Amino acid sequence: MRDDIEETLISEQAIQARVAELGAAITRDYAGKDLVLLGILRGSLIFLADLARQVALPLEIDTIVAASYGDETHSSGVVKIVKDIEASIEGRHVVIVEDIIDTGLTLRNLLELLRTRSPASLRVCTLLVKDRVFPEQGERIEAAYVGFHVPDRFVVGYGLDYAQRYRNLPFIGVLKPEVYTTTGAAPTP
Ligand code: IMP
Ligand code: MG
């Protein structure tokens, strides 16, 4: 699996240090508040598990399954709720936990949906923001908490997949081009 990686962009140590900082910031900001960490599956699974353990507050963890990507590496622009949240978020403070903001379409759709359920507050914590070459083709989403910015390349690891593989790599990396050519799907960008 590691042989498929061309370059490591963010090491395991750097991720863990940053997740601890994000957890400390959330701990400061939500002290005394009724907090719900809402992970967007499957990409945020690993990040959510690590982040939650760095927040030293009582909180509820819930998840929502949203699909905007098939096995390809480009956004379809269509977001489907495959599994909704179980918690009621009315009057509660919600932090959405996301793996990466690329076009922002997934989050825009989810934010619209969740706002109709009257949370006391709704903010985004994303591990990665992709610095897009063509930002005008996406939605500007303001994330209150951002782990790292990454270049406009397709990244895998720490929850992020290519064709459902590589989520269990403990670091963030870029795949070798031949991995895409042997599996058929062309990476975009
Ligand atoms: P967006 O709607 O374009 O912002 O993309 C949202 C979802 O696409 C993310 O939550 C990821 O699951 C997936 N995604 C976007 N860019 C990448 C990437 O570089 N690697 C792996 N998954 C990605
Ligand atoms: Mg995702």
Single out the residue of 141, 118, 125, 112 nearest to residue 39, CA to CA.
125
* Protein residue with least CA distance to atom 5, ligand 1: 102
How big is the CA angle at 113 (ends 189 and 137), to the nearest 5 degrees?
25
Q: Which atom of ligand 1 is nearest to the CA of 108?
A: 2
104 CA distance to ligand 1 middle (Å): 9
42 CA distance to ligand 2 middle (Å): 6
Single out the residue of 58, 142, 155, 140 nearest to residue 100, CA to CA.
155
* Protein residue with least CA distance to atom 12, ligand 1: 43
Report, in angstroms and rounded to the nearest whole number, the Rg of the chain calculated over CA atoms.
16
Single out the residue of 169, 151, 143 nearest to residue 15, CA to CA.
169
* Residue 90: DSSP 8-state: T
Single out the residue of 96, 102, 103, 39 nearest to residue 65, CA to CA.
39
The number of helices, as runs of H, and strands, as runs of E, in the chain is: 4, 9
**Which chain residues have CB less than 5 Å from ligand 2, an ion?**
43, 99
* Residue 136: DSSP 8-state: G
Q: Which atom of ligand 1 is nearest to the CA of 153?
A: 19
One-letter amino acid identity for 2? R
Cβ neighbours around 155 below 10 Å, total: 22
pTM: 0.92
Q: Sign of dihedral through CA atoms 107, 109, 110, 112?
A: positive
Residues with CB under 6 A from ligand 1: 43, 68-69, 75, 98-106, 130, 154-156, 160
Q: Considering every ligand atom, which ligand is closest to the CA of 109? A: 1
Query: Is there a catalytic annotation at residue 102?
Result: yes
12 CA distance to ligand 2 middle (Å): 20
Mutate to test the pocket of ligand 1, among 40, 102, 130, 175 (most ligand atoms within 8 A of CB): 102
One-letter amino acid identity for 86? E
Sequential pLDDT tens for the chain (189 residues): 889 999 999 999 999 999 999 999 999 999 999 999 999 999 999 999 999 999 999 999 999 998 765 555 566 566 778 999 999 999 999 999 999 999 898 899 899 999 999 999 999 999 999 998 877 777 778 899 999 999 999 999 999 999 999 999 999 999 998 887 776 565 554
* Residue 71: DSSP 8-state: S
